[in-house]
Amino acid sequence: MSFNSLGLSDALLKAISKKGYTTLSPIQQKAIPPILEGKDVLASAQTGTGKTAGFTLPILQILSQGQHLSRRPIRALILTPTRELAAQILANIKEYSEFLDLRSTVIFGGVNQNPQVTQLRQGVDILVATPGRLIDLQNQGLISLAKVEILVLDEADRMLDMGFLRDIERILKVLPAKRQNLLFSATFSKDIKKLAMGILHNPVHVEATPENTTVDAIIQKVYPVAKEKKTELIIKLITEGNWKQILVFTRTKQGANKLTESMISAGIKAAAIHGNKGQGARTKALAGFKDGSLTALVATDIAARGLDIPLLPHVVNFELPNIPEDYVHRIGRTGRAGASGEAISLFSPDETVFLRDIEKLVGLKLPVENIKGFEPDPNASKEPIKQGQGRQQRDSTPRKPKTDTSNRSSNNSFGPRRPSQNNDRRSNR
């Protein structure tokens, strides 16, 4: 299906063609027509499916057809969980709206609010925001949402995980009752369904299995390794394999820093990206990783959420995630857009429970390969590492901790959905 068949304006089609898109992704095929008709949409889609264009293009079409008010009140509000995702959505909107008379901006926490306020004062049609900063500016009387016609909740499951439910409820209260609502989520827990039911009116349900997370497209391997030899092994893999672009996941921020330092000492160009890094450092690291000046990006799960990094050849789980669903999100970063990729997990005996949970979730026994000289001691303890030590740390500043991820499930093609018992497992990331 081509973009020409949607009835989009020439200005939008020109921008789409400039991006090099020729055919619609499945989620775009399913979501764009009902959004253009003004319907509420409940979409099951995660990063990598083309979901951003799936809601952005019809919004731009609707807004550009609508009445132009000289004051430019905010007419579309897009809420996202993280700053990176917010910045990426804005970047997409700017590209798609290049030939339209629509203004857009982004607001998120962790940076000075003044430039954001200046932008808002000049008038914007589309606002992308993380909930915390939006509420702050709203409380200061610096923002009006009274003219919002379209609301998007993107990565709604992440927003709930990160404790933004109360903020979302507060934002809903100041929006006009009559509006179009779009909710995108990768997973559908009881809480998400409840949120959706409270917001959406007769929604059209659309679902897309991410093209990038099919078993065929991703080669998954588990390398058993002694815990203390993981750093040495990953450095060996990168240098001997001459890997050029590798995304590495650690469970904690401290772990990300430590590994990055070791890689740099070994001559690998690496940077860490996590919630303790300032926005400038995060943006710089991501840009360096994308343009090839950095070989390795070491990330925690929450920091990596929503990052748009196309065609990643290697993803390495330096530590297995303690939330099995995160494994699926992590490996979904490789083999994107039909290209094959490799997802390698360095697995130490104390992660036995995590591996078992992941295999249960994906419904697969992951292939194990031993690497000579790195095998763990067969008598090493299989006791899990202690969880929940240290403060709960996140990338943003939600008001109310929210840990009920019960019945989280994945919309991937890896296997059965199952309840999660991991409510206490997110910490220190």
Binding site for ligand AMP (CB under 6 A): 21, 24-25, 28, 47-53, 308, 310
Based on CB atoms, which residue is closest to ligand AMP, 217 or 263? 217
Q: CB of residue 307 vs ligand AMP: minimum separation in angstroms?
A: 9
Q: H helices then E strands: how many in the chain?
A: 15, 13
* Cβ–Cβ < 8 Å for 245, 314: yes
Pull the structure tokens for residue 77. 């509000």
Q: CB of residue 53 vs ligand AMP: minimum separation in angstroms?
A: 4
d(CA 148, CA 142): 15
Based on CB atoms, which residue is closest to ligand AMP, 48 or 275? 48
Q: What is the 3-state secondary structure (H, E, C) of 12-49?
A: HHHHHHHHCCCECCHHHHHHHHHHHCCCCEEEECCCCC
Pull the structure tokens for residue 97. 């709206």
Based on CB atoms, which residue is closest to ligand AMP, 53 or 100? 53
d(CA 108, CA 30): 30
Based on CB atoms, which residue is closest to ligand AMP, 21 or 374? 21
Q: CB of residue 299 vs ligand AMP: minimum separation in angstroms?
A: 16
Strand order in the sheet with 218-224: 218-224, 341-347, 314-317, 246-249, 296-299, 270-273
Q: CB of residue 164 vs ligand AMP: minimum separation in angstroms?
A: 20
Based on CB atoms, which residue is closest to ligand AMP, 326 or 350? 326
Based on CB atoms, which residue is closest to ligand AMP, 21 or 243? 21
DSSP line for 324-381: HHHHHHHHTTBSGGG--EEEEEEE-GGGHHHHHHHHHHHTSPPPB---TTTPPPTTS-
Q: CB of residue 86 vs ligand AMP: minimum separation in angstroms?
A: 13
Q: CB of residue 209 vs ligand AMP: minimum separation in angstroms?
A: 13
Tell me the chain's radius of gyration from C-alpha atoms.
22
Q: CB of residue 37 vs ligand AMP: minimum separation in angstroms?
A: 20
Based on CB atoms, which residue is closest to ligand AMP, 30 or 51? 51
Spatial CB neighbours of 68, under 8 Å, sequence gap ≥ 6: 101
* Cβ–Cβ < 8 Å for 105, 63: no
Backbone angles phi, psi at 41, to 5 degrees: -135, 135
Q: What is the amino acid identity at position 148?
A: V
Q: CB of residue 22 vs ligand AMP: minimum separation in angstroms?
A: 7
Based on CB atoms, which residue is closest to ligand AMP, 135 or 182? 182
